[in-house]
Amino acid sequence: MKISVIGTGKTGSKVVEMLGDNLAYAFDESNPPTLEKLKESDAVIIFVPGDAVKDILPKVLESGIPAAWGSTGFSWPDDLEDDVQKKKTKWVLATNFSLGMNIIRNAIEAISAGSEILKDPEFKIHEVHHVHKKDAPSGTALSWKEWLNKEAEITSAREGDVNGIHELTVSTANEKITLKHDALDRALFAEGAIWAAEQLLKNKNLTSGIYTFGQLFDFITKNND
């Protein structure tokens, strides 16, 4: 199995390091991906900023290989699902490749359901990332609000070299509930991205098309023999 990586920044470089001998090619601005080299790869993992996605998306699609995208701050085309299916390939689009984040997702959904019996609850989501992160709020914070399915205020901060901190607070007049996820090392995103790429390649029960990371996680865990 040979996997290529597009984007060798803070997280992409971790993916390159962890792939070891399974790395096919590492692409960046000075060494952009070519269709020929992508086709030599079994799959590709992509960590580029949202404003760089539009330049590489057509080439990744044309290659027809499975792709795990860790890019946020980009509006995906409405017809992307049809295009991926036409290529008979599989993509996963993730706002966060932490496997533990799927435990958080289940917890947020439980909090959302339970909050129905609370009196006038207020929901706040706060996220902190490194100063070089361009999009705010983070894609993960937006996913938290989607999982919560409630009106929630989202606030953002950019500090130092923070990998990612997300916190949900549910407040009433008499109590406060806090749920927090702290990414201690970017290796956790690399691990999740590699796991996702491997599942796209190995799991024969996955049909062609686009999956969120949560959908992929649920499918694999619920169909794990």
Summarize the confidence of residues 79-96 as an average pLDDT.
96
* pLDDT above 80 for 224: no
What CATH number does the domain located at 3-97+187-222 have?
3.40.50.720
Summarize the confidence of residues 110-134 as an average pLDDT.
96
Please list the residue range(s) of the chain that carry CATH number 3.40.50.720.
Answer: 3-97+187-222
* pLDDT above 60 for 225: no
Summarize the confidence of residues 190-207 as an average pLDDT.
95
Give me the pLDDT at residue 72, please: 84
- Asked if residues 168 and 123 have their Cβ atoms less than 8 Å apart, the reply is yes
Reading the block at residue 152, the tokens are 């929630």
129 is an active site residue: yes
Question: How do residues 156-184 score in pLDDT, each as one tens digit?
Answer: 999 999 999 999 999 999 999 999 999 99
Please list the residue range(s) of the chain that carry CATH number 3.30.360.10.
Answer: 101-182
Give me the pLDDT at residue 61, please: 97
Q: Among residues 14, 90, 129, 166, which one is catalytic?
A: 129
Four-residue CA torsion sign, 145, 215, 95, 81: negative
176 is an active site residue: no
Instruction: Give Cα separations from 3 to 25, 49, 62, 83, 214 (angstroms).
Output: 7, 20, 17, 22, 22
What CATH number does the domain located at 101-182 have?
3.30.360.10
Q: What is the pTM of this model?
A: 0.83
Q: Among residues 14, 90, 133, 181, which one is catalytic?
A: 133
